[in-house]
């Protein structure tokens, strides 16, 4: 069972618990992106198993009126077991999404996976128009060129700052450089894309910028934030009429995800400490 300390960031261990979370969150006007926790499977059996779980999850979402979709990680559905395994499994998830009218996002992992992930996304996005989205990272220097490639590809693009420790040759390392790149890429997207922009950030400055860019260019966008992070802002923005999606992980492999959230910010660590000492 997930201890209360981790349940701020993780929507439960089972699909039933995750669905309860979706229902409660939808009632607050916030839509939910479900992510089954798991990554870096180097054997095909585990990758196939999580793929099958996603297909079932999509069927279950499709049978409800919940505002929910899914987001998969390439190394969870076979990338470390071989590019072909990833492409086959990604296709199976997107086909299920297409069949049950459930949107499928693909997370982006470290820079060594960008090419294969982009190629697989582009192929599926062209085939299953409007049913699939991809995350791109502002800390990678290549992202401007990737966005130019993605302009004419149907589907949605989620811009995040980037969560992986990348080498200096390929990535901006200083926060100010990453923020500047995020602003530049966001502006490019609002100027050039027809819509389908997802602002994957908790940063009020980036959200304000997106609102300004929307006023300037009229391009549709949504905002995505993680479960357990700035949830008040998620509800307030939804009440103001913005489309808000909360990325909510679930599953029994919750520990490393929770540990990452606690390490990345002082206030999350304080929250964890307070929970432990019962304050």
One character per residue 125-144, x = contact with ligand FAD (rule: CB under 6 A): ----------x-x-------
Minimum distance of ligand FAD from residue 230's CB (angstroms): 5
Give the nearest distance from C-beta 161 to ligand FAD in angstroms.
Answer: 4
Listed in sequence order, the residues at least 6 apart from 114 whose beta carbon sits closer than 8 Å to its beta carbon are 108, 140, 142, 146
Catalytic hit among 107, 146, 179, 261: 107
The nearer residue to ligand FAD, 84 or 266, going by C-beta atoms, is: 266
CA within 13 Å, CB half, 4 = 7
The phi and psi torsions of 245 (rounded to 5 degrees) equal -115, 130
Active-site residue, 158 included:
yes
Instruction: Name which of residues 35 to 74 contact ligand FAD (CB under 6 A).
Output: none
User: What string marks each residue from 97 to 126 as x (binds ligand FAD by CB under 6 A) or -?
Assistant: ----------xx------------------
As measured in angstroms, the least distance from the Cβ of 199 to ligand FAD is 9
Stretch that binds ligand FAD, among 39-47, 90-98, 183-191, 222-230 (CB under 6 A): 222-230
201 scored as a contact of ligand FAD (CB under 6 A): yes
Exactly one of 74, 159, 268, 272 binds ligand FAD (CB under 6 A); which one?
Answer: 268
**How many C-beta atoms surround the C-beta of residue 113 within 10 A?**
19
C-alpha separations of 228 from 161, 176, 220 in Å: 18, 25, 25
Which x/- pattern, by CB under 6 A, does the window 158-187 give for ligand FAD? Answer: --xxxxx-----------------------
> Would you count residue 226 as binding ligand FAD (CB under 6 A)?
yes
Q: What tokens does 108 get?
A: 């982006």
Q: Which of 146, 158, 179, 261 is catalytic?
A: 158
Residues whose CB is less than 8 angstroms from the CB of residue 199 and which lie 6 or more positions away in sequence, other chains included: 158, 159, 186, 206, 207, 210, 221, 222, 223, 224
Q: Where are the alpha helices (DSSP H) in the chain?
A: 15-27, 44-62, 83-100, 114-127, 143-150, 175-192, 204-217, 231-239, 255-264, 266-277
Residue number with CB closer to ligand FAD (164 or 217): 164
- How far, in Å, CA of 80 to CA of 75, rounded? 5
> Per CB under 6 A, does 247 bind ligand FAD?
yes
Q: Which is nearer to ligand FAD, 212 or 218 (CB)?
A: 212
In the complex, what is the shortest distance from the CB of residue 270 to ligand FAD, in angstroms, rounded to a whole number? 11
Q: Which of 125, 53, 68, 67 has its CA nearest to residue 94?
A: 125
Instruction: Specify the DSSP class assigned to residue 29.
Output: T
Q: Which residues are annotated as catalytic?
A: 107, 158
Which residues form the interface with ligand FAD (CB under 6 A)?
A: 107-108, 135, 137, 160-164, 200-204, 224-226, 229-230, 247, 265, 267-268
């Amino acid at each position: 069972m997930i201890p209360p300390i981790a349940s701020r960031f993780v929507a439960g261990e089972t699909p039933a618990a995750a669905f309860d979370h979706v229902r409660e969150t939808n009632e607050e006007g916030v839509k939910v992106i479900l992510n089954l926790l798991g990554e870096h499977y180097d054997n095909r059996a585990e990758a196939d198993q999580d793929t099958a779980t996603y297909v079932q999850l999509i069927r279950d979402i499709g049978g409800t009126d919940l505002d929910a979709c899914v987001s998969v990680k390439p190394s969870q559905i076979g990338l470390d077991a071989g590019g072909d395994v990833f492409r086959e499994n990604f296709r199976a998830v997107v086909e299920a999404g297409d069949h049950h009218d459930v949107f499928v996002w693909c997370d982006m992992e470290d820079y060594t996976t960008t090419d294969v992930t982009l190629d697989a996304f582009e192929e599926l996005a062209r085939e299953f128009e409007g049913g699939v989205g991809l995350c791109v990272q502002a800390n990678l220097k290549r992202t401007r060129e990737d966005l130019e490639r993605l302009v004419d590809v149907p589907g949605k693009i989620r811009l995040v700052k980037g969560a992986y420790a990348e080498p200096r040759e390929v990535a901006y390392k200083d926060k100010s450089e990453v923020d500047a790149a995020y602003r530049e890429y966001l502006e490019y997207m609002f100027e050039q894309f027809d819509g389908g922009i997802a602002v994957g950030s908790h940063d009020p400055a980036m959200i304000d910028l997106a609102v300004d860019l929307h006023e300037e260019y009229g391009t549709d966008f949504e905002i995505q934030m993680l479960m357990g992070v700035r949830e008040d802002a998620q509800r307030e923005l939804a009440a103001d009429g913005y489309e808000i999606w909360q990325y909510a992980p679930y599953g029994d492999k919750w520990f490393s995800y929770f540990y990452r959230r606690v390490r990345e910010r002082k206030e999350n660590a304080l929250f964890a400490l307070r929970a432990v000492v019962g304050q």
